[in-house]
Amino acid sequence: MLQSCSQNGSKTLRFTMGARYRPIQLYYCVQARQVHNTPPWRPATTLDEWVGKEARPISLRQLMVFGRSLTEARLISSANYVRTELPTRLAHRIRDMQTLPYVVVTNPHISQVYELYYKAFESLRKVREIKTLEDNEKFCKKISQTLQEHLTVIPKLSMGVIECWDLMKPEDMDKFMNTILRSRISRRVIAEQHLALTETFNSPWHFPDSPNASNTGTEFVGEVFLKCNAGEVVNRCYKTILSLSSATYGATTPLPTLKLSGHLDATFPYILSHLEYIIGELLRNSIQAVVERQKSSPRGWEETPPAIEVTVCEAPQHVIIRVSDQGGGIPHDTLQYLWSFSKGPRSSQRLENLTQVPKMAATLQELRVSSDIPTSLHPPPEPHEKSEHSGSGHDSSLSSLSSRPPNLRLGMGLPLSRVYAEYWAGSLELHSLEGYGVDAFLQISKLGNKNEQLTMRASMDAV
C-alpha cells in the first residue's frame, strides 16, 4: 500500500508492507533532485532475524590470549566466531542505511556501498558451520575476497556524504559515518585476525602440540603487536612522512625536524597499523602546516623551521602521545568542521580529490608505493609483516600514505584517526592556538583490556 502526505513542505512517501511480513513502515523524504541506482526491493524477514542478534565485542587481551596457544580446535572456534559475527555486524549497518532518507540511499556512491554490504551479508550468512580445516580454508578465501571487494567503501562513502551534505543534518550524517566506519574497522579486525591466525597455524614453524607452543618468541599474535613501542612508531612514521614531504615540496624546501621526548620505553599491546595510521596523519598535518606557513611568510623562517615536538607519557592505564607544531594553528572558520566527514570549506576540492583514490583500505593498506620515495626508506618486510598476496596478513598502514600524492587532501584523515583511536576505548583531541600552532593528544589504553567500542545496535523498528 502506498500513501502520500506532506511534511514541512516536502513530499513524503509512506510505504506499508502487507501482512505477509511483519508490519514495517518506510519513511523517505523525496526532494526535488534526480535519483539514481534505486536499490532493489528485498524481503525484510531475513535481515530482521540478523538485526535481532547481539554483537559479541572483543578486546585486544582476548585476541592475544586466544591466539597464543593456537590449536586446530581454537582455529575452528575462531572461524565460527567470525562466521556469525560478520553477517550480524553487516546486518545492523544495512539497517542503518535503510533508515537514511531515500534520496540519500539512492546516491550512486552510497547505493554502491549498500549493494556491496548486502552482497556480503547474503554470502556470509549462508556459510555453514565450520568443522574441518578444509572448511576453514574455503571460508578464508571467501572473507579475503570480501575484504578486497570492500576496498572501495571508504572513498565511495566519503563522496556520497559530501554530495548529500544538504539532504541531512550535518551532525546526523557525521554520526552515520562514524558508526559505519567504526563497524567497518571491527569487521576487518576480526576477519584479518582470523586470516593471520590461519596463516600462523599453517606455517612450517608452528607446532601446536609442543609444550612451548605459546612461547615462540614472536612479538605478534595474529595482527596484535604485543609490545608496541610508541617512540619507535613515531620515529618510523616521521621518516616516511619526511620522505613523502620532500618528494612533494622539493629537496630544497627545509622541513621540520622531530624532537621526541618522554617515556620512550613504554610498550603496550595494539594493532600496529591502527597506530601508524593515526601518528602518520598527525605528523603529515603538522609538517604540511609548518611548510605552508613558511611559504606564506614573506621572509620565511629566519633559520630552520621549528621542530615537531612529540612527547610520550606513560600512566598506569594509558599511554598519551602529544604532537605539537608551530604551523600557525587552525583558522577559526575551519575549526568547526575539523571532525566532519560531510561539511567544510573545501568540500568541492575534497570531492574532486576523492575521485583519484578509487580504493582505500585504512587498516588493510595499499601496497603501492610512490616511485618518488627512495627504496631505502622502505626496507624489506620483517617476518611479521606479511604480504597481502599470500592470502592473509597485511602490510603497514604507512603504505596507504604513499599510495596517493601526500598533498592530496581528502578531508578524512583527522575524523578517521579519531574513529581509530576511539575504537579501542582511546581518544584523540586537538587544541589550536590560531597564529601559533596545534597540540594533538592521542590517548591509548595501555592494558589491552578494553572491548572494542561498537555502536552496534540497530533498531528493529527503525525502518
- Let me know the angle formed at the C-alpha of 384 by 277 and 427, rounded to the nearest 5 degrees: 30
Q: Which residues pair with 313 in a beta bridge?
A: 320
- Cα(260)–Cα(236) distance, integer angstroms: 12
> Tens digit of pLDDT for each residue in 249-300?
888 889 999 999 999 999 999 999 999 999 999 999 999 999 989 888 766 5
Q: Which residues of 130-157 are buried (b: 16+ CB within 10 A; e: fewer)?
A: beeeebbeebbeebbebbeebebbbbbb
For 45, counting Cβ atoms within 10 Å of its Cβ (0-12 exposed, 13-18 middle, 19+ buried), the class is: exposed
Q: What is the pLDDT of residue 33?
A: 44
121's grid cell: 551479508
Amino acid, res. 335: L
Strand pairing report for 10-16 and 25-30: antiparallel
Amino acid, res. 445: S
HEC-encoded secondary structure of the chain: CEEEEEECCEEEEEEECCCCCCCCEEEEEECCCCCCCCCCCCCCHHHHHHHCCCCCCCEHHHHHHHHHCCCHHHHHHHHHHHHHHHHHHHHHHHHHHHCCCHHHHCCHHHHHHHHHHHHHHHHHHCCCCCCCHHHHHHHHHHHHHHHHHHHHHHHHHHHHHHHCCCCCCHHHHHHHHHHHHHHHHHHHHHHHHHHHHHHHHHCCCCCCCCCCCCCCCCCEECCEEEEEEHHHHHHHHHHHHHHHHHHHHCCCCCCCCEEEEECCCCEEEEEHHHHHHHHHHHHHHHHHHHHHHHHHCCCCCCCCCCCEEEEEEECCCEEEEEEEECCCCCCHHHHCCCCCCCCCCCHHHHHHHHCCCCCCCCCCCCCCCCCCCCHHHCCCCCCCCCCHHHCCCCCCCHHHHCCCCCCCCCCCHHHHHHHHHHHCCCEEEEEEECCCEEEEEEEEECCCCCECCCCCCCCCCCC
- Cα(230)–Cα(183) distance, integer angstroms: 26
Q: What is the pLDDT of residue 365?
A: 43
pLDDT < 70 stretches in the chain: 1-41, 206-218, 298-303, 343-346, 358, 361-408, 455-463
CA distances from 126 to 2, 130, 139, 242, 399 (A): 33, 12, 11, 47, 34
Q: What is the pLDDT of residue 395?
A: 46
- Cα(135)–Cα(158) distance, integer angstroms: 36
> Tens digit of pLDDT for each residue in 374-396?
333 333 333 334 433 333 344 44
> Residues with Cβ < 8 Å from 5, sequence gap 6 or more?
12, 14
276's grid cell: 601508524
Q: What is the pLDDT of residue 122?
A: 95
Q: What is the pLDDT of residue 408?
A: 66
